[in-house]
Amino acid sequence: RKEVEQDPGPFNVPEGATVAFNCTYSNSASQSFFWYRQDCRKEPKLLMSVYSSGNEDGRFTAQLNRASQYISLLIRDSKLSDSATYLCVVNRDGGFKTIFGAGTRLFVKA
Amino acid sequence: EAGVTQFPSHSVIEKGQTVTLRCDPISGHDNLYWYRRVMGKEIKFLLHFVKESKQDESGMPNNRFLAERTGGTYSTLKVQPAELEDSGVYFCASSQDRDRETQYFGPGTRLLVL
């Protein structure tokens, strides 16, 4: 079993839709959590950090449930430019060990 | 501010040859990381430098891989001799010590071993 699991998708949604991605992690010692975005043939870029209290950045909302070891990302009012792979990332070992999920592919269509 | 840069962007070599990848982190970033993404798989951690010291090299696949960061600035990752399974995208990332979890990634080096 992988340490960070994501539904690979792809998710195909129309513009304006709301889409949610989920991620689970198996190591209870995990300390911090992130969502990264990766465009085709590009490097990963940090989208947002994830906190137990939840955090929101414009159309994006991330949530962490430590008890269930579950992380989510909600995208509202999807745009064509949101099409990308979304990577769930977990840090442990003092923040120095970074574990990536395999990513969830999103296609937003007009 | 310049981002993380990597060289070359692409490399095609034959099995048994040697390849050296280079990463220039963001200036002032003490933490430097190497990752690899093999086709169809997730990005995997290879190793982490703090300045010139190897903090964690537990992700290095075998002794054909050698990473260095002399002087604590740029880093090189040498694969010798290269095998077919070494093909993939090699990413470098860097972070500041006061915010080490915010990693900035370079564009990657696409390595193909034939």
Residue A93: predicted pLDDT: 78
Contacts of B63 (CB under 8 A, 6+ apart): none
pLDDT of the residue at A99: 94
Judge whether A100 is closer than 8 Å to chain B, CB to CB. yes
Can you give the pLDDT at residue A40? 92
Mean pLDDT across chain A: 94
Mind listing the pLDDT tens digit for each residue in B24-65?
Answer: 999 999 999 999 999 889 999 999 999 999 999 999 999 999
**A43, A45, A103 member nearest B108 (Cβ):** A43
Interface membership of B90 toward A (CB under 8 Å)? no
Number of Cβ atoms within 10 Å of the Cβ of A97: 21
- pLDDT given at position B1: 64
Q: A101 vs B42: CB contact, 8 Å cut-off? A: yes
Q: What percent of chain B has pLDDT over 70?
A: 99
Q: Measure in Å the smallest separation between the Cα of A66 and chain B Cα atoms.
A: 19
Task: Return the pLDDT at B100.
Answer: 76
* Residue ranges of chain A with per-residue pLDDT less than 50: none
Q: Is the bond preceding B81 in cis, omega lying within 30 degrees of 0? A: yes
Residue of B nearest to A100 (CA): B43
Question: What is the spatial distance between Cα B75 and Cα A63, in angstroms, rounded to a whole number?
Answer: 35
Residue A56: closest CA among A32, A75, A81:
A75
